[in-house]
Structure 1
């Protein structure tokens, strides 16, 4: 177990406490999990319209540890928090970063993934400089209502920021030459560069994280009133990290360390 995993596992087990979590477990017989189904390798609908990805496997694993039934609900990203608040499901596992802005609406479980942020572009891009000055007048794409959109809109005011309903649509516009750059989570873009984008595009540079915008990392989102559910999920995450099953899922789905 690496240092980050030990830190998360120890903090979770200390904060939650086995007795408190187990006392609440009987109240949750079924947990409905909302996801986008369009953000590989975190979550995706395959050719058979079946959900797959790191978060799908992780959610199912956590439900096994919590001894509850899992039901998955696919929801467009733009409405994913409103649908949680409208009781369409109980927790969101959708590559969502735990930011201070989102904490105004929801509560977050422990972080279960934290990765760099990349800017990618055409292979013939000559410079790796992605500073706001260097990208003045350039077209930069990313998914709307994300930390990446917030970051670009704050720091790249002199660039042409183009927002898309899904990351896949932004990727397609990059392939087709309608974008100069694309910004997203490194895992999602590494997946893209091994697949559709392998012939056209390359990693240009890593985007410097801004904690106020990018948050602590990817976590599950729950309604603020569901504190018992959050504690139950936190205990299961801690167990998955401690017993190595979380790492196995990372190794399965994340080809970029």
Structure 2
């Protein structure tokens, strides 16, 4: 009987041990979000639009579906005009806006994920029209923008007060028709979007970009996913899913057909301290392998103008320049370009005798010489560029 009890106890203990061990090694189920509802305006090729079969397609749709797959969620796409999508998000019509430019003003109202990709905004004009993306050039002109976008906010804040007429459109297709009909003189657009919608079409040959891309905090630097501030868990989950897509190569596979390969990192810039305390500029700025050197005056170690006129000031500038180059492990032979500013152009010959002798005869840098009034009663100022 005692033996039987011992066997039963051993069997019970073994059963408990096996069950406990089984629970310990069983994989925890991955978190599932059930469904994620994205608000989207399906009229913006190549980002989000309906194809000939009526299917919702585009870069943002592919990215959204991939994010949902990473989170074991079902994507639900809710079509919503861009101009009212923040209000609809706050009202609970959907969980996130896909995508939206993350600007400082919008961050006060909604949260944003990490950027999905970069974007640029440029002015588009009829070919042959001499307009530039600044209020001086656009004064009196009519510029079309898409309602509710960061470009609309930028144009109304930066250009409208300077006499530019800003016209807002609910749909980009409406804006483009108005542009082609001559009802507006220019339009501020996302470069990829307008290339797809107009510039790459047969009708688009009559239009072109004007000036460089506009850089302004109101325009942001990229697009992200907007979420309610009351839903930080979703924001964090989307960020984690986006990082996984980048790590496993799926992000590149989705984005490169639309955007091309990701751009290289921006060239690093290195600023040295100001040449003298309180001056609002750096002594040098290194950009890649190029060293930009601020204008040099003939000042001694105490910041006083050296006596002796143009020759003495030029000689002092040469010595200061040599010291800056030496600190960057290069010599005078690496100077590629200098601009010489003379208070009196009659000093040219005397300056040139000292200046020219400072460089190797077979390595003279290019040079521009101009006349202008200088600070501190200086007779000469020299600024240079060198190759590291």
TM-score range, shorter chain: 0.7 to 0.9
Offset of residue 216 of structure 1 = 4.1
Query: Which of 196, 203, 206 lines up with 1:200 in the alignment?
Result: 206
On the 8 A contact 1:117/1:208 being kept in 2, the answer is yes
| Residues in 2 aligned to 1:141 and 1:223: alpha-carbon distance in whole angstroms | 30
Query: Which of 76, 83, 94 lines up with 1:89 in the alignment?
Result: 94
On the 8 A contact 2:31/2:71 being kept in 1, the answer is no
On the 8 A contact 2:131/2:138 being kept in 1, the answer is no
Per the alignment, residue 172 of structure 2 pairs with 167
Post-superposition CA distance 1:145-188 (Å, at most 9, x none): 21111111122121111110012211121112112111111111
Q: 128-137 or 68-77: which moved more? A: 128-137
SS in 2 for 1:206: coil
| Residues in 2 aligned to 1:138 and 1:210: alpha-carbon distance in whole angstroms | 21
Per the alignment, residue 16 of structure 1 pairs with none
On the 8 A contact 2:122/2:213 being kept in 1, the answer is yes
| Residues in 2 aligned to 1:88 and 1:27: alpha-carbon distance in whole angstroms | 21
On the 8 A contact 1:112/1:217 being kept in 2, the answer is yes
SS in 1 for 2:112: strand
Question: How do 1:187-226 and structure 2 match up within 5 A?
Answer: 187-192=192-197, 193-195=199-201, 197-211=203-217, 213-226=218-231
Residue 104 in structure 1 maps to residue 108 in structure 2: yes
CA 155–25 in structure 1, closer or farther in 2 if over 3 Å, else same: farther
Query: Which of 45, 56, 62 lines up with 1:57 in the alignment?
Result: 62
Q: Decide which structure has the larger Cα Rg and report it.
A: 2
On the 8 A contact 1:106/1:221 being kept in 2, the answer is yes
TM-score calculated relative to the size of structure 2 = 0.56
CA 109–31 in structure 1, closer or farther in 2 if over 3 Å, else same: same
Figure out how many residues of one structure are paired with residues of the other and give that number: 232
Q: 46-55 or 191-200: which moved more? A: 191-200
| Residues in 1 aligned to 2:212 and 2:122: alpha-carbon distance in whole angstroms | 4
Post-superposition CA distance 1:98-125 (Å, at most 9, x none): 1121112211111111121111111122
| Residues in 1 aligned to 2:219 and 2:48: alpha-carbon distance in whole angstroms | 19
| Residues in 2 aligned to 1:76 and 1:60: alpha-carbon distance in whole angstroms | 20
| Residues in 2 aligned to 1:210 and 1:44: alpha-carbon distance in whole angstroms | 28
Higher relative contact order (CA 8 A, sep 6+): 1
SS in 2 for 1:178: coil
Offset of residue 35 of structure 1 = 0.5
Q: CA RMSD in A?
A: 2.1
Residue 117 in structure 1 maps to residue 124 in structure 2: no
| Residues in 1 aligned to 2:30 and 2:178: alpha-carbon distance in whole angstroms | 46
For structure 1, the residue ranges without an aligned partner over 5 or more in a row are 1-22
On the 8 A contact 1:118/1:185 being kept in 2, the answer is yes
Per the alignment, residue 246 of structure 2 pairs with 241
Offset of residue 239 of structure 1 = 1.2
| Residues in 2 aligned to 1:24 and 1:84: alpha-carbon distance in whole angstroms | 30
